[in-house]
Chain A
Amino acid sequence: MPESTPIPVTVLTGYLGAGKTTLLNRILSENHGKKFAVVINEFGELGVDNDLVVDADEEVFEMNNGCICCTVRGDLIRIIGGLMKRKGDLDGIIIETTGLADPAPVAQTFFVDEDVKARTRLDAIVTVVDAKNLPARLADSREAEEQIAFADIVLLNKMDLVSPEEAAEVERRIRAINPQVEIRRSTKSDVPIDAVIGRDAFNLARILEREPEFLSGDDDHEHDGEIQSLSFEAARPIDPEKFNAWISGLLAQKGQDLLRTKGILHYSGEDRRFAFQAVHMMADGDFVGSWREGDPRRSKIVFIGRDLNRPQLRRGFESCQVEDGAAA
């Protein structure tokens, strides 16, 4: 039997009342002929109508490495392990988290567990927010800000309840936390299913194919909350050894404050682009296809996190470049 292709996993986060379960039921009820397994939490707002619904306990455990940010959802490891044993092809897995959930342990599960890594891929983290109430949530909850920081797609829901000015302001707040995120406006979570499912939004290479400029956005957004985003570019090629030494030191030391790190690197002497990403301290990287003909081969890196020192990060990244005048 051939090795099966990894099953895409969509993570739905968002505050209670934002419209997460409505979106979930919309995805499931749409006549797409696809078979999803749905992992729901016990505090779900509404019933979920699907053949394959699994109750999850959101059991987070700390890895045995003495670090408080290295947390993993053990229940997901067990549930995904169980689902993989079932007969019949699943088209996808959708994981709903509670409103108060920190998305990091969910994302980190996909970096840590070898079985989960081998058999699934994180398609996208979709965060549903209530356009009217988001400013209040951001003011009173750390989780609301983190859910936006981790999102690949933000569904800006309940658009019928806000004025165009309010909507623009909410979008500005979202971009201040996560400038690269894709924002979809909706009312009653009414987006087409392909806006949130099968996006492969967690995969940097695919993002680049779709939006080559995604990492080049400016980061002059004011940041109102704790979480900010910084991005840097390097014109000269990157020395892989220097980069590895720098990034592993940085993640080990600063990983608790770094929610997400994403980079596209031009390694010295390499025609393919190297995509790097990390959630807190857990990192992954791979070559992802060649640079586009005629495009400048500039390396870019984005940090989303708390308490970030811009000059220090810039110097660190720039110091990973090969010496001026060295062969590229």
Chain B
Amino acid sequence: MSEAQDADFLLGSRGVSRDLGAWVVGVAWERGGGGACGFGLGDGTVRVARPAATAEDWASAAAHGGGACLSLCADARGGFLSGGDDGRLVRVTAEAGVDEIARPARSRWVEHVAAHESGLRAAAVGKALHLYDANGAALKVLAHPSSVGGVAFDAKGKRVAASHYNGASLWFVGSKEDKPRVLEWKGSHAGIAVSPDGTHVVTAMQENALHGWRLADGQHMRMSGYPGKTRSLSFTARGRWLATSGADSVVIWPFHGGGPMGKAPTELAGGDGVFCTAVACHPQHEVVAAGFGDGLVLLAEIASGKVIPVAPPGHGGVSALAWNAAGSHLAFGTETGFAGVVDLSRR
């Protein structure tokens, strides 16, 4: 595919791109109707793109002066939530304004952030998961046995899951007594995802494998055989499939019909020998956006295996990927600071 012309890719015909000059740590689309897209960067800034205004410069917010953004997500009610190695949890508005929400622990990194439309925000600092409400008031601090490797709310915002050594902890956010359900499995667990119906939790392990728990009965699910680290996980909208990075194809596990136990995963868009580094499932359709280590971005339809190229290789490994809520726009960023936004709406 490296021979292909830029015109063969949707980025050339339907997208805008920028060289942002620093590692794209995270990308997210604003909740609500605003339509802005935020890129959290390794130079400590958050850049805000407005896809409607394709020619306009992307505004820059100095979110973590002198440091790096370590994690970025859409904030609960518009704007973006960013955690940095300066120890700050900040909200960046669509106009690139910066408000500090908290500085949970001096000289400690805010490594993972998550937010839910109900107004909840979560920030992981070492072993502690700090929860804040929509106004930025501290709600509680949830303690874990070791550093938190990943954080995810369930779809309803009732529970928050945090991965760590030897498993994950699942907390009821509104519970009076904070006692987690501990999901145990030996090893180090990083990225974490909760299935959209809240029935499964899956983590990305140090050992080139995923581990899952079926919450109804605590059944373990081992998904192994990856040649590389599985760091990116994404369920399809109704939770029938889990797309994952870590192989030279997009590996997709069936979470229906008795799977994934005893079922082989589906592999899409493989064969180039380059590892998939990021995945993001479409918010409605069973379509996966995938980024690869050489910068290639593509769309793959799960049922047909049909692949549509989005961005050509050559701009650094894809490190961030996100759909807007309508599923009409896809944004991506790479380790070397290349970023793009592609309009996929019907014309």
Alpha-carbon distance between A113 and B67 when the two chains are bound, in angstroms = 24
Question: Chain A residues with Cβ under 8 A from B70's Cβ?
Answer: 82, 85
Residues of B close to A57: CB separation below 8 A: 126-127, 147
Whether A59 pairs with B165 at a CB distance below 8 angstroms is: yes
In this complex, what residue of A is CB-closest to B19?
A1
Residue contact A82 to B111, C-beta cutoff 8 Å: yes
Q: Report the bound CA distance from A96 to B316 in whole Å.
A: 32
Q: Could you say which of A55, A63, A113 contacts B108, with CB atoms under 8 Å apart?
A: A55
> Which one of A72-80, A134-142, A190-198, A258-266 is at the interface?
A72-80
Residues of A within 8 A of B149 (CB): 74, 78
| Distance in Å: Cβ of B48 to nearest Cβ of chain A | 18
User: Are the CB atoms of B68 and A87 closer together than 8 Å?
Assistant: yes
B60: interface (CB < 8 Å): no
The interface residues of chain B lying within 8 Å CB-to-CB of A85 are: 23, 25, 42, 68, 70
Contact with A along B42-68 (1 / 0, CB 8 A): 111000000000000000000000011
A181 within 8 A of B: no
A72 close to B107 (CB less than 8 A) = no
**Is the beta-carbon distance between B187 and A82 smaller than 8 angstroms?**
no
Q: Which residue of A is nearest B337, CB measured?
A: A1
Q: Which of A63, A74, A75 is B207 in contact with, Cβ under 8 Å?
A: A63
Q: Which residue of B lies closest to A87 (CB)?
A: B43
On whether the beta carbons of A87 and B21 are closer than 8 Å, the reply is yes
Chain B, residue nearest A79 (CB): B109
Q: How far is the CB of B85 from chain A (nearest CB, A)?
A: 6
Any chain A CB within 8 A of the CB of B265?
no
The residues of B that contact A53 with a CB separation of less than 8 Å are 107
| Cα(A72)–Cα(B111), bound, Å | 19
- Which of B67, B109, B126, B228 touches A114 (beta carbons < 8 Å)? B228
Once the chains are docked, how many angstroms separate the CA of A121 from the CA of B205?
23
- B186:A64 contact, CB within 8 angstroms: yes
Cβ–Cβ contact B68 & A64, under 8 A:
no
Is the CB–CB distance between B147 and A59 below 8 Å?
yes
Number of interface residues of B (CB under 8 A): 35
B206 touches A63 (CB 8 A): yes
What is the predominant secondary structure among interface residues of chain A facing chain B? mixed
Which residue in chain B gives the minimum CB-CB distance to A65?
Answer: B207
A57 to B164, CA, bound (A): 14
The contact of B22 among A62, A75, A77, A87, by CB within 8 Å, is A87
Which residues of chain B have C-beta atoms less than 8 A from A74's C-beta?
A: 146-147, 149, 165, 188, 206
Q: Which residues of chain B have C-beta atoms less than 8 A from A32's C-beta?
A: none
The residues of B that contact A55 with a CB separation of less than 8 Å are 107-108
Q: Mark B153-172, 1 if CB is under 8 A from A, else 0.
A: 00000000000011000000
0/1 interface trace, chain A 67-92, chain B, CB 8 Å (1 if under): 00000101101100010111110000
**Max count, chain B CB within 10 A of own CB: residue among A1, A57, A77, A87:** A87
CA distance A82 to B70 in the complex (A): 7
Contact A1 B23 (CB under 8 A): no
Is A222 at the interface (CB under 8 A from chain B)? Answer: no
B186 near A62: Cβ-Cβ < 8 Å: yes
Minimal Cβ-Cβ distance residue in B for A64: B187
B27 within 8 Å of A (CB atoms): no
- Check B229 for interface membership: any CB of A closer than 8 A: yes
Quick check: is A208 within 8 A (CB to CB) of the other chain?
A: no
Report the bound CA distance from A115 to B165 in whole Å.
19
Question: How far apart are the CA atoms of A63 and B22 in the complex, in Å?
Answer: 33
Contacts of A115 in B (CB 8 A): 229
**22 A-B contacts (beta carbon < 8 Å):** A1-B316, A54-B85, A55-B108, A57-B126, A61-B165, A61-B188, A62-B187, A63-B187, A63-B207, A64-B207, A72-B206, A74-B165, A75-B147, A77-B206, A78-B149, A82-B109, A86-B23, A86-B42, A87-B21, A87-B22, A87-B42, A113-B229
Nearest first, the 7 A-B pairs at minimum CB distance are A64-B187, A87-B43, A85-B42, A1-B336, A87-B22, A85-B23, A86-B68
Residues of B at the A interface (CB closer than 8 Å) are 21-23, 25, 41-44, 67-68, 70, 85, 107-109, 111, 126-127, 146-147, 149, 165-166, 185-188, 205-207, 228-229, 316, 336-337
Given A61-B187, A65-B207, 7 more A-B residue pairs with CB atoms under 8 Å apart are A63-B187, A64-B185, A72-B206, A85-B25, A86-B23, A86-B68, A87-B42
